[in-house]
Chain A
Amino acid sequence: MDWAYIGRVLPLYGKAAWLTFRTGTAGILLAAAVGLLGAAALRWRVPVIRRIVSAYVEVSRNTPLLVQLFFIYYGLPKIGIRTDPEFCGIAGLAFLGGGYMTEAFRSGIEAVDSLQEESALSLGLTQSQAFIHVILPQAAAVSAPAVMANVVFLMKETSVFSAVSLMDLMFTAKDQIGLYYRTAESLLLLVGAYLMILLPLSMLGTFLERRLRHAGSGT
């Protein structure tokens, strides 16, 4: 193990970790937004849109991210839509994650008894007030484990970004091995960097699940 080499390339892995974290976080936040909208459309049975959401969930969950990235990065430019690699990575994650998040939120919302909404409405709350103050907190408690699992899953999916020339952690390690043949050092740095990103994330998940359990105590 060549520690001097590790010290020398550490900034490179720092940059790659930042890219992984930055694109991962942006993609996950967008995916969560898509998921909320999708779940809401399913909940209120919005005509037409509801069917589109169902189809989207099936497509996004049943195609690999690699294929989605290829489509966005190499396919779309053929019809004149050019995207830069980072945008493409984030869009791919949002597309894939949106489907998973829709399902996670949908199951949470469905788990809340319809009596809850009816009671809220009869107490004079408007439909959106009832959704925000009564249904959503309880639904969030139910959805939390699935949502957090999706967050960690999506962060790990960034490892296929090499296909669109994004220098994420995985590609940086592969590139270093290809250039300087430091396999052991590169793999060590790779695992260490992923743990540094993912371990706090999954700990945060455990913490949030515990906190949110209180909100669900009524169900």
Chain B
Amino acid sequence: MKNIRRFFAAALVLALFVSVSVSISGSASADAVYRTLDEILADGTVNIGVFSDKYPFGFVDENGEYQGYDVYFARRIGEDLGVKVNFVSTEAANRVEYLETGKVDIILANFTVTPERAEKVDFALPYMNVALGVVSPDSRVITDLKQLGPEDRVIVISGTTAEDYLIKNNPEITLQKYDTYANAKNALENGNAAAWANDNTEVIAFALENEGYTVGIPSLGSQDTIAPAVSKGNETLLNWLNDEIRALAGEQFFHKDYEETLVAVYGLEYEDSLVLEGGGLTE
């Protein structure tokens, strides 16, 4: 009897859960979860989602301070809005979720613009170019995905464009998925997989920083761009960001950002191919 009662109790909980999630998925778009520009200004703090473990774009330095290319831009946004920036650490797979639930106002976490993501969030003008790349140990440099055998694993980070690309285009490759950049790098160093596929900026940085690794495939798939994102429908904030990015082109802000945060890793060689000013629109 007790067991049966317990079973029914569990069934009831499950039914409740179904109805709640059904209503959530039905009403998510109806209720605004985001804060408009005026609400952010009134509050005096803007919440910006950044990476804490993606060197040199968004990371925490030895003093516990957020640093990197994305963070440099985030600080500037705070300055020009005249509010304090509250950095919220995010993982790749959480970025859309954080905007949909209003946990952050802006995502500035090396967020590649894709059509699927654009259905869920609103992207502002892009500020960086990106493609996918594959890094592997010098002992066996992978220059073509065809070199991978059935035993080989390829590291990807859950929720990234690299994961999405390989699932769609190379379903025969066995992926080894990690939830954070830190874990993925550690796993590659430990030799748990044949290669690591990610944004080419990231794998180039890894190969430059760590001896014994080569980016055998520097560009995979299409050329994409990276842009800030806001919650779907948050037009006031989106328009402000677009105006900001256009205005910053005048002072070549993103070149300065590159020279402050990225030059130590990439040198000047990549500056013009990576950086986008004013959303890439020619003046």
Residues 167-190 (chain A) with a chain B CB within 8 angstroms: 167, 171, 174-175, 177-181, 183-185, 187-188
Residues 97-128 (chain B) with a chain A CB within 8 angstroms: 97, 100, 116-117, 120
B176: Cβ under 8 A from any A Cβ: yes
> Knowing A74-B186, A206-B2 touch, does A185 contact B177 (C-beta < 8 A)?
no
CA distance A206 to B2 in the complex (A): 9
CA distance A104 to B262 in the complex (A): 55
Task: Name the residue in B2, B24, B117, B179 with the highest tally of chain A Cβ atoms < 10 Å from its Cβ.
Answer: B179
Interface residues on chain B, size class: 35 or more
> Which B residues lie within 8 Å of A206 (CB)?
2-3, 6
Q: Which of A1, A178, A187, A195 makes the CB contact (< 8 A) with B159?
A: A178
A43 to chain B, nearest CB (A): 33
B192: Cβ under 8 A from any A Cβ: yes
> Which A residues lie within 8 Å of B93 (CB)?
174-175, 177-179
> Which B residues lie within 8 Å of A46 (CB)?
none
B265: Cβ under 8 A from any A Cβ: no
B94: Cβ under 8 A from any A Cβ: yes
Evaluate contact between B158 and A74: CB separation under 8 angstroms: no
A44: Cβ under 8 A from any B Cβ: no
Q: Per DSSP, are chain A's interface residues mostly helix, strand or loop, or mixed?
A: helix
Evaluate contact between A199 and B191: CB separation under 8 angstroms: no
B7: Cβ under 8 A from any A Cβ: yes
Residues 189-219 (chain A) with a chain B CB within 8 angstroms: 191-192, 195, 199, 202-203, 206-207
> Knowing A1-B21, A74-B183, A184-B22 touch, does A199 contact B190 (C-beta < 8 A)?
no
CA distance A177 to B94 in the complex (A): 8
CA distance A186 to B93 in the complex (A): 13
A163: Cβ under 8 A from any B Cβ: yes
> Which B residues lie within 8 Å of A183 (CB)?
24-25, 97, 100
Q: Which residue of B lies closest to A206 (CB)?
A: B3
Evaluate contact between A171 and B179: CB separation under 8 angstroms: yes
A45: Cβ under 8 A from any B Cβ: no
A78: Cβ under 8 A from any B Cβ: yes
Evaluate contact between B178 and A165: CB separation under 8 angstroms: yes
Binds A, one of B10-18, B31-39, B75-83, B130-138: B10-18
B96: Cβ under 8 A from any A Cβ: yes
CA distance A188 to B3 in the complex (A): 23
CA distance A185 to B17 in the complex (A): 11
> Knowing A183-B100, A184-B22 touch, does A77 contact B191 (C-beta < 8 A)?
yes
Evaluate contact between B190 and A78: CB separation under 8 angstroms: yes
> Knowing A184-B21, A185-B25, A188-B17 touch, does A179 contact B191 (C-beta < 8 A)?
no
Q: Which of B2, B21, B179 makes the CB contact (< 8 A) with A188?
A: B21
CA distance A183 to B99 in the complex (A): 13
Task: Name the residue in B92, B96, B167 with the highest tally of chain A Cβ atoms < 10 Å from its Cβ.
Answer: B96
Task: Name the residue in B97, B120, B167 with the highest tally of chain A Cβ atoms < 10 Å from its Cβ.
Answer: B97
> Knowing A82-B190, A199-B7, A206-B2 touch, does A179 contact B159 (C-beta < 8 A)?
yes
> Which B residues lie within 8 Å of A179 (CB)?
93, 158-159, 163-164, 167
Residues 42-79 (chain A) with a chain B CB within 8 angstroms: 74, 77-78
Evaluate contact between A171 and B177: CB separation under 8 angstroms: yes
A162: Cβ under 8 A from any B Cβ: yes
Closest A-B pairs by Cβ, 7 of them: A178-B159, A178-B93, A184-B25, A77-B190, A184-B21, A175-B158, A1-B22
A77-B191, A77-B192, A179-B164 are known contacts; what are 8 more A-B pairs with Cβ within 8 Å?
A: A1-B26, A163-B183, A165-B183, A167-B177, A171-B179, A181-B120, A185-B21, A199-B10
Interface residues of A (CB under 8 A from B): 1-2, 74, 77-78, 82, 84-85, 162-163, 165, 167, 171, 174-175, 177-181, 183-185, 187-188, 191-192, 195, 199, 202-203, 206-207
